[in-house]
């Protein structure tokens, strides 16, 4: 019984090692991410604060990552580092977005960039290829 608990604990600890030991990505890097496609409603114009308060609702497509990512800061791009993040907003053209199966695992490749407008709801976004 104790051996089983010990081995189970070791197995669980082992699943976190790759996340903690992984290298961080770079802003502007071409990358492939794996995750589940999820949608979210966020407050939009005019105040970007509250849909109930009268702001428009913005439907946003995101990727809930299989493995959280971190991103190094960049003085050149004037962007801060990002600690581990599980959600990345997908910045893709309409034809691509309509083909993504909601609630299913997919791989998406593109260029990683940081949020810089009120329409960006996650700190990291992926400009799809």
* 23-128 belongs to CATH 2.40.50: yes
Q: Where exactly are the structural domains of the chain?
A: 23-128
- pLDDT tens figures, 39-97: 999 999 999 999 999 999 999 999 999 999 999 998 887 788 999 999 999 999 989 88
Selected residue with higher pLDDT from 35 and 97: 35
Separation of first and last alpha carbons in the chain: 50
Residue 74, helix vs strand vs coil: strand
The pLDDT of residue 19 is above 70: no
What is the share, in percent, of the chain residues with pLDDT greater than 70? 83
Name the pTM for this structure.
Answer: 0.77
The pLDDT of residue 38 is above 90: yes
Cα–Cα distance between 33 and 68 in angstroms, integer?
Answer: 10
Classify each residue of 50-62 as buried b or exposed e, where b means 16 or more C-beta atoms within 10 Å of its C-beta.
eeeeebeebebbb
């Amino acid at each position: 019984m104790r051996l089983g608990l010990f081995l189970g604990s070791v197995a669980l600890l082992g699943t976190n090692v790759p996340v903690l030991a992984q290298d961080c990505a770079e802003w502007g890097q071409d990358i492939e991410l794996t995750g589940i496609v999820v949608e979210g409603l966020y407050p939009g114009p005019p105040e970007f604060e509250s849909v109930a308060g009268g702001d428009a609702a913005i439907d946003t497509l995101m990727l809930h990552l299989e493995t959280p990512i971190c991103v190094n800061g960049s003085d050149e791009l004037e962007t801060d580092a990002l600690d581990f993040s599980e959600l990345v907003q997908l910045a893709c053209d309409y034809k691509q977005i309509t083909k993504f199966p909601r609630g299913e695992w997919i791989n998406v490749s593109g260029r990683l960039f940081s949020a810089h407008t009120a329409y960006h709801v996650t700190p990291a976004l992926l400009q799809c290829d």
